[in-house]
Amino acid sequence: MNDPFEDAGDYSRTEPLRLSVPEAASGRRLDQVLAELLPQHSRNRLQGWVKDGCVLVDSEVVTEPKRKVLGGETLLVSEPDDAREAIDQPEDIPLDIVYEDETLLVINKPAGLVVHPGSGNWSGTLMNAVLHHVPGIEQIPRAGIVHRLDKDTSGLMVVAKTLEAQTDLIRQLQARSVKRVYLALANGVMKKDGGVDSPIGRHPTQRIKMAVVPESRGGKPALTWFRILENFPHCTFIECTLETGRTHQIRVHLASINHPLVGDPVYGKKHPQLPAFPRQALHATRLGLVHPVSGLKMQWEVPMPQDMRDLLDALRYG
């Protein structure tokens, strides 16, 4: 099996991050490729790392961000000390803990909380909170975080408190055995249950966006199932189940079938006949996995936050 941290887009604080340049990226600039492989960092920041000699291409130090890649190269990226110091600061931020033992920490993340430190959000993140709550977890890549939720998506996340547990959970994610179920409100009236099986990759011209992209152009397989829970005149309350975990997967897939999430500022649009909602109406309600130590199947469920409940009430009762 390939290195699980490479496949999961993770990194280690003691070893350089190892990345593979997709064959489809042949002829593109090194900084463009890095920005796609490391979306948690700004392109300007990555250009600075290249100029500072922090990036090796097939074991060769490259200091020119415009350098063209051939496809298939191995990149080794060493984060500068200042970036690590910014990431590694514990902060006393309250956590809504659903479950905790010596191996796992399951959290109900509120909307508005950024998961990983990055450009524009170097503090006040879930990672900073976890570093404070679990002393010593800074020795584990990304403080044990194995998957993410968008800043304005609420709901369940799992954190591994040991390296062995993190590796096991990443392999479960790769094997698609982790159950992740979301509640969402989608624009338009959906008439039947279904799914979207379309590869997702970085948008070709808008770096902050993902898009349905052919695998030949760097898209990765992505599959989302959806089930109708309740219909309204201009939107639909649905349950979504992820088979894969691509960035913005539900948001991109629903937008691709002309049913973007209500309130989505990136992939959606305002509907004059729907109540205003300040974020994408998406909540990770259920999480199921196999405990890395006991081998027992475990599942947790949390209700929608108050803002989504209020939105549903407004739709039901006017």
Would you give the distance in Å from CA 129 to the centre of its chain?
Answer: 18
Exposed/middle/buried for 311, CB within 10 Å: 0-12, 13-18, 19+?
Answer: buried
Cα angle 270, 275, 281 (rounded to 5 degrees) comes to 75
Give whole-number Cα distances, 125 to 96, 142, 166, 181, 209, in Å: 14, 12, 19, 23, 21
Question: Is 317 in a helix, a strand, or coil?
Answer: helix
Domains of the chain with bracketed CATH: 17-77 (3.10.290.10), 89-173 (3.30.2350.10), 180-284+308-317 (3.30.2350.10)
Catalytic residue among 81, 96, 101, 150: 150
Residue-level pLDDT, tens digit, the chain, 318 residues: 333 333 333 333 335 678 889 998 999 999 999 988 887 677 888 888 888 888 889 878 888 999 999 999 989 887 765 555 445 689 999 999 999 999 999 999 999 999 987 655 678 999 999 999 999 999 888 899 999 999 999 999 999 999 999 999 999 999 999 999 999 999 999 999 999 999 999 888 776 789 999 999 889 999 999 999 999 999 999 999 999 999 999 999 999 999 999 999 999 988 888 988 999 999 999 999 999 999 999 999 999 999 999 999 999 987
Q: Is 307 a catalytic residue?
A: no
- Please state, in angstroms and rounded to a whole number, the distance separating the CA atoms of residues 270 and 293: 46
Q: What is the pTM of this model?
A: 0.75
